[in-house]
Structure 1
Amino acid sequence: MDFDLSEEQRLLKESVERLMLDSYGFDERRKYLAEDRGFSEATWKRYAELGLLALPFLEENGGVGGGAIETMIVMEAFGKGLILEPYFPTVVLAGGILRHGASRAQKVDLIPAIAEGRMKLAFAYAEPKSRYDLFEVETRAKKDGDQWVLNGTKGLVLHGAVADKIIVSARADGASRDKKGIGLFLVDGNAQGLIRRSYPTQDGLRAAEISLENVRVEAANVIGDPTGAFPVIARVVDEAVAALCAEAVGCFAEMHAITLDYLKTRKQFGTTIGSFQVLQHRAVDMFVELEQSRSMALYATMMAGESDVTERARAISAAKAQIGQSARTIGRQSIQLHGGVGMTMEHRIGHYFKHVTMIDTLFGDADHHLRRLASLGVIDDE
């Protein structure tokens, strides 16, 4: 199997990495963080100019026609840069819902606006009682003539406060834990009855709690089958987890590089601390975790489009479990090897550690995915 990047993929990798070097130094990131929306609108426009916002969408819908490998390349570079912009919720999550579930008319209406940077989307799937279960949906959707009426509460809606439109999962039929009966509804961010409460997450990004009280949605804004959306949600989240794994690898690579540089320059007892063999061993442990994560992230990327749901789930959970384990190992080692300075807000290593901790938790931590992997059973070698 050929793991080399094509010429176009290499050019994409170089252009995104160059953008991160030019626009996402630690000082620049702190300035973006202090902006009203918590990210840089100017940088968002540059993503659009480079075609990054159009990357995973088909050309016939206004996209570029990239695939999972291209998304992996971008997300890994974004992990190194520790970006703040809503690329993941808009392009990967909500964009994935549109790619796999939306009608042609909905795609034609929404995707060009996303690709040009004129529209930001969010996906409201989590609820107060849902934990990591995507099918745990208590938000209700009731048919009323040609419209649907939504009532419920959603939590941890990534960049939900700045989204122009929000894709909401709601139950049109069945009990709260049934996989059948769930629909996807496209809601305007300023819809009557929708209340958004924004807050910062531990890694400096933004999320929102969303309340829906008799929010009306036109039939044209229902995405797919109003009672059969769960397979779409599950597929999109598997693809999103693969993208998160790639982003985590970018973070790990930068954490390892920063720590190595610190070991080579920090002096103690008249010599650099990197000359101490025990610290060299710990740096090697970090490198081993990084390379294991890189391999598993590539595996998840290659399996993200697998049509066999069980095989895809095995691969995604195996990768996410490895990423969670590596986040803890690399994070702890990098902080400890930096000493007290690693715990301060003034040093970038702590910001990376916070973000990989968030990635570990999002869509299920390492323990959750190990349990999921066990429940799926072993692969029959015969």
Structure 2
Amino acid sequence: MNRIDDDTAVMLREAVDKHARRNMDPGLVRSRRSTTPGYAPSHLQALAEQGWLAAFVPEAADGMELGVDAAAILTEGLAPSLLVAPLDSFFLATRTLVGAGAGSDLFAGFAEGETLPVLAFQERPGDVFAPQTAQTVCDASGRITGGKAFVVGHAGAGRFIVTAKRGAALILAMVEAGAQGVETETQWRADGTPIGQVRFDNAPSVIVADDTATVTQAIGLAVDEANLVVAAELMAHIDAMMAMTLEHLRTRVQFGKPIGAFQALQHRAVDLYVRQLLSRSVLDPAVGQVAEGMEPFERSRLVSRVRCRLNDTARLVARESIQLFGAMGITEECDLSLHVKRVLALTTWLGTSGQHRAQFAQSLASSNQNFSHEEIMP
């Protein structure tokens, strides 16, 4: 994985911000809700043309092999315009393949957006951190039978990256989305984006990795990095909701004065601002640390701290913004509602706050180390 330097980060952030502002269209976002794949083909083409898909493809496959620091900049920059998908699921799947040592031929079509990989590894709620993979098996000829749940990006997938059991070993396999024996079922998240179940019935596959340790480490790293990418998107929605709410407090007039002049509302706004700053102070250093490389157990704890903080802050800002806006804040016509609903969808993907706290506590209990108060506070 290649880190980006400060100058490159600034240029990337400027390019993403410019793209997001140019393509910001709340009406288009509303029109794509409860449709598959959940984004316009022109958006996918734009991601490919900008080189933002190639960013995470290995150098051996004509990509740049960038990591979580670049992904965080991209998602945070695209989030205000609600144009992140399918970059989030693409990053998760691609990083899994890279971590598993997949050959360059398996990345064909990824950078151009012609084929999108999607990771399918969960089978039940709560198995983000230790997937059981009890229902999905691979026979000696490489055919997959079983099912996966909570698959984000399934509707636009060209290939599924699937965990399965072959004997006692955990393997990683690639299954063409259009192959015989592959069926999908779509459900809708709070923001109208699709999430699905995928069933395999003797579906042919290509084995990517057949060593349990390799597969476990690859998925562990990819999920941790993807959690930071989700946190970066949540940070962008926190910033957007705060900006909208403060503008509303300045312009909404009651009793002859802006409602922001009332001290009770000022105090609530300040409380949210403090939470916003705390979230930023947790997120940015964590992205840098993970990009530099960390021991798995330290990385997992750090990521869970960040997700807890960002999940909780995003939900708090969403609730309080609606309170400060009044009932109009959650209506279809108010753009604030787009960010609120996106927050509701994101804070349940790859671990809720409760699941991350449980994971954090379990990691602490098994480490036999002493930690300061600051180190254990999520």
Normalised TM-score (structure 2): 0.90
Amino acid of the structure 2 residue aligned with 1:52: W
**CA displacement, residues 210-266 of structure 1 (integer Å, 9 cap, x when unaligned):** 11111122xxx2112254411211111001101111111011110100111111111
Give the conservation status (yes or no) of the 8 Å contact 1:172–1:227.
Answer: no
> Match for residue 299 of structure 2?
312
Instruction: Please report how far the alpha carbon of residue 118 of structure 1 lies from its aligned counterpart in structure 2 after TM superposition.
Output: 1.1
> Match for residue 153 of structure 1?
147
Instruction: Please report how far the alpha carbon of residue 5 of structure 1 lies from its aligned counterpart in structure 2 after TM superposition.
Output: 6.7
Q: Helix, strand or coil: the match of 2:350?
A: coil
**CA displacement, residues 167-209 of structure 1 (integer Å, 9 cap, x when unaligned):** 11112234xxxxxx32111000011111111232111211221
> Match for residue 326 of structure 1?
313
Instruction: Please report how far the alpha carbon of residue 356 of structure 1 lies from its aligned counterpart in structure 2 after TM superposition.
Output: 1.5
> Match for residue 14 of structure 2?
14
> Match for residue 346 of structure 1?
333
> Match for residue 278 of structure 2?
292
> Match for residue 239 of structure 1?
225
Give the conservation status (yes or no) of the 8 Å contact 1:40–1:85.
Answer: no
Mean CA deviation greater in 259-268 or 120-129? 120-129
Instruction: Please report how far the alpha carbon of residue 131 of structure 1 lies from its aligned counterpart in structure 2 after TM superposition.
Output: 4.5
> Match for residue 73 of structure 1?
73
Using the aligned pairs only, state the percent identity: 27
Q: 2:120 aligns with which of 119, 124, 142?
A: 124
> Match for residue 135 of structure 1?
131
> Match for residue 170 of structure 2?
182
Q: 1:359 aligns with which of 337, 341, 346?
A: 346
Superposed CA RMSD: 2.1
Q: Helix, strand or coil: the match of 2:156?
A: coil
Write the mapping of 1:50-129 to structure 2, written as runs, cut at 5 A: 50-83=50-83, 85-90=85-90, 92-104=91-103, 107-110=104-107, 112-128=108-124
> Match for residue 252 of structure 1?
238
> Match for residue 177 of structure 1?
none
**Matches of 2:130 and 2:332 in 1, distance apart?**
34
Residue segments in structure 2 that go unaligned for 5+ positions in a row: 373-378
**Matches of 2:285 and 2:148 in 1, distance apart?**
32
Give the conservation status (yes or no) of the 8 Å contact 1:38–1:84.
Answer: no
Judged with a 3 Å threshold, the aligned counterparts in structure 2 of structure 1 residues 185 and 41 are, in CA distance, closer, same or farther, namely same
Give the conservation status (yes or no) of the 8 Å contact 1:51–1:64.
Answer: no
Amino acid of the structure 2 residue aligned with 1:149: R
Residue segments in structure 1 that go unaligned for 5+ positions in a row: 175-180
> Match for residue 207 of structure 1?
195
Instruction: Please report how far the alpha carbon of residue 36 of structure 1 lies from its aligned counterpart in structure 2 after TM superposition.
Output: 5.2
**CA displacement, residues 35-59 of structure 1 (integer Å, 9 cap, x when unaligned):** 6532111121111111111113343
> Match for residue 178 of structure 1?
none
> Match for residue 251 of structure 2?
265
> Match for residue 373 of structure 1?
360
Mean CA deviation greater in 277-286 or 255-264? 277-286
> Match for residue 376 of structure 2?
none
Amino acid of the structure 1 residue aligned with 2:210: D
Give the conservation status (yes or no) of the 8 Å contact 1:89–1:159.
Answer: yes
Q: Helix, strand or coil: the match of 1:115?
A: coil
**Matches of 2:371 and 2:255 in 1, distance apart?**
55
**Matches of 1:373 and 1:34 in 2, distance apart?**
34
**Matches of 1:129 and 1:9 in 2, distance apart?**
36
Q: Helix, strand or coil: the match of 1:320?
A: helix
**Matches of 1:36 and 1:138 in 2, distance apart?**
29
> Match for residue 216 of structure 2?
230
**CA displacement, residues 241-297 of structure 1 (integer Å, 9 cap, x when unaligned):** 011111110111101001111111111111111111111111112211111111222
Amino acid of the structure 1 residue aligned with 2:98: R
Give the conservation status (yes or no) of the 8 Å contact 1:246–1:294.
Answer: no
**Matches of 1:318 and 1:292 in 2, distance apart?**
12
| Aligned structure 1 segments of 4 or more residues deviating by more than 6 angstroms | none
Give the conservation status (yes or no) of the 8 Å contact 1:263–1:273.
Answer: yes
Amino acid of the structure 2 residue aligned with 1:185: A
Instruction: Please report how far the alpha carbon of residue 140 of structure 1 lies from its aligned counterpart in structure 2 after TM superposition.
Output: 3.0
Instruction: Please report how far the alpha carbon of residue 28 of structure 1 lies from its aligned counterpart in structure 2 after TM superposition.
Output: 3.0
Q: Aligned residues, how many?
A: 364
Amino acid of the structure 2 residue aligned with 1:225: D
**Matches of 1:381 and 1:125 in 2, distance apart?**
32
Normalised TM-score (structure 1): 0.89
Instruction: Please report how far the alpha carbon of residue 381 of structure 1 lies from its aligned counterpart in structure 2 after TM superposition.
Output: 6.1
